[in-house]
Amino acid sequence: MDDNPHTQSGSYTYRDCPAVTELHATRTAASMAGFFLPHLRPGMRVLDCGCGPGSITVGLAEHVAPGAVIGIDLDPTHIALAQRRAAAAGRANVRFARADIYTLPFPDATFDAVFCQSLLSHLREPAQALREIRRILQPAGLLGAREVDTEGMLIAPFAPILLQVRDLWEQVVRHHGGNTRIGKQLSTLVRQAGFPHLAVSASYECFGASGLPGQATPFQMVKHWQMILEQSLRLGWISQDTRAQIEAAWQEWRRHPDAFLAVPRWEVVGWSRDGASREEAKR
């Protein structure tokens, strides 16, 4: 998802946060779904669960054209942004709708493939969401899931104070019912949801001062951290002085010419037995 504004018996950590939506809009199918794209074929019907502002969804639609892609999200602001993005890109084979991941408004076996990015880490019941995804997939359908694991985050230049915001990030998401270390559990969750054949990989989402195309900037990451610090202050976990100290350290970091941050992402492609056999036969 670029992420779901509500979770079952919980709430979305980044709800009503334009800075995070702006960050999510820098994500593309190439940068976030590269592990999944080789498995897509023209003519497929694909669902993007938790599409956010639609930047990944539009890329998926390009890969499966003339097949159809539907992006779902609960946030009407995200849906409106995604619709404008698709229109600007001239993508007639993609549409967007509000929907709840726990009760998808589609009949059984509707889709050939489902993609979700940064969705499960925000849910209280990720296993239930995956079972619902399995329901709406064809018997030989495939799932692509990519989730965070903050334990392996890389920062340079490094200072111990910088890690405090990572710990607060984990705490804030946990407060809202999620888990920023769900990556290690991803293959188990997918397998138990009815996908016995898996391909597991990992990559990093990078934020660098080098300004590479498609790469978010240190400034955008600091805006994300500011939101985490604001919530931590509101919840009484840190003082105003502590917040100021941590933010000052991150502002100093982002101005460094070699500023670089990388967040680990676990990636799983899951097939049913029929789907796995068909995929292997193509190789």
Q: Which tokens sit at 6?
A: 């509500």
Return the DSSP state at 95. E
Question: 137-148 and 69-73 as β-strands: parallel, antiparallel, unpaired?
Answer: unpaired
* pLDDT tens by residue, the chain, 283 residues: 343 333 343 466 666 667 677 777 778 899 899 999 999 999 999 999 999 989 999 999 999 999 999 999 988 989 999 999 889 989 999 999 999 999 999 999 999 999 999 999 999 999 999 999 999 999 999 999 999 999 999 999 999 999 999 999 999 999 999 999 999 999 999 999 999 999 999 999 888 876 666 667 787 888 888 889 999 999 999 999 999 999 999 999 999 999 999 999 999 999 986 555 445 445 4
Does some domain include residue 84?
A: yes
Longest dimension (CA), the chain: 61
Domain region containing 244: 6-282
How many domains are there within the chain?
1
pTM summary value? 0.88
With 0-12 / 13-18 / 19 or more C-beta atoms within 10 angstroms meaning exposed / middle / buried, residue 22 is: middle
Q: What is the CATH number of the domain that holds 29?
A: 3.40.50.150
8 Å CB contact between 115 and 144: yes
Q: At 142, phi and psi to the nearest 5?
A: -135, 155
Does some domain include residue 161?
A: yes
8 Å CB contact between 283 and 277: no
Q: Which tokens sit at 232?
A: 């931590």
C-beta neighbour count of 194 within 10 angstroms? 16
Does some domain include residue 1?
A: no
